[in-house]
Each structure stands twice: as C-alpha cells, then as structure tokens.
Structure 1
Amino acid sequence: MSNGQLLGVLSLVTGIISLFVFSIVFGPAAIILGVLALNKRNNLGWTGIILGGLVVLITGIAFIIALAQ
C-alpha cells in the first residue's frame, strides 16, 4: 500500500469514526488527511473530505441550535 493509498484510507476511516464519536476532532482530521491524500494523487481523499466536511457542518449546526435554546 503506497503512502497516498494509506492517507486515503485513513481519511475515510476517520470520516466514518467522526460520524459516531468526537466529531469535533475526527471531522477536521478527515479533511486534512483527505487533502494530503489528494496531494499524493489518491482520489479516495475526496470521500474523507466530503465526510469530514459534512460532519463538521452538522456539528456546527447542532451547536448553534443548542446555543439558541
């Protein structure tokens, strides 16, 4: 497994983990690992970026809703 593939898989795994636990930590980590994977020419990084971005967005919206109540 090349370095780019490893980064792509790690990005995907951290994106999936961020759906369930510690989204504030694992979401941005998935985005960063996805960008690094894309720099190594691995398209699996896009999946991690999208997953991490969605988790960060959903967490931000939930935080704003919680503050508004």
Structure 2
Amino acid sequence: MGWRRIRVGLACAAALAWLVARRFGRVAVTGSSMAPALLPGDRLLLVRTRRLRPGDLAVVRDPRQ
C-alpha cells in the first residue's frame, strides 16, 4: 500500500468524522424545567436538522455560559 493511498484514506476518514460531528451531538440536561420528561443529569443524543416538527425538542446554547 503506497503513501498516496494512506493519505487519501486518512483524508476520507477526517472528512467523514467532520460530517458526523456536524450532524450529531450530545448534551446533558442541567435544569429541571423539562421535568418529569427530562431530569437533571439526563443525556441526550442530538440530530441537527433545519426543520422542527411538533414533538421535537429544541436545544439552545445559553449565551451567558
């Protein structure tokens, strides 16, 4: 296997990792405003999308933190 093939493979892996990081995320619940559905300490897996539908949760970053 040549160096060129290794570099191409690494570039593809880096691009895939970047795409996954942009599409998915994870957060931990810190407040109790969503109780009893979500409790402090609960962890959520996010799927970032542009369209919200009824029943979806919106995660907003606190600008004070």
TM-score by length of 1: 0.32
Higher helix share: 1
TM-score by length of 2: 0.33
Structure showing greater Rg: 2
Higher strand share: 2
Q: Choose between structure 1 and 2 for higher RCO, CA contacts under 8 A separated by at least 6 residues.
A: 1
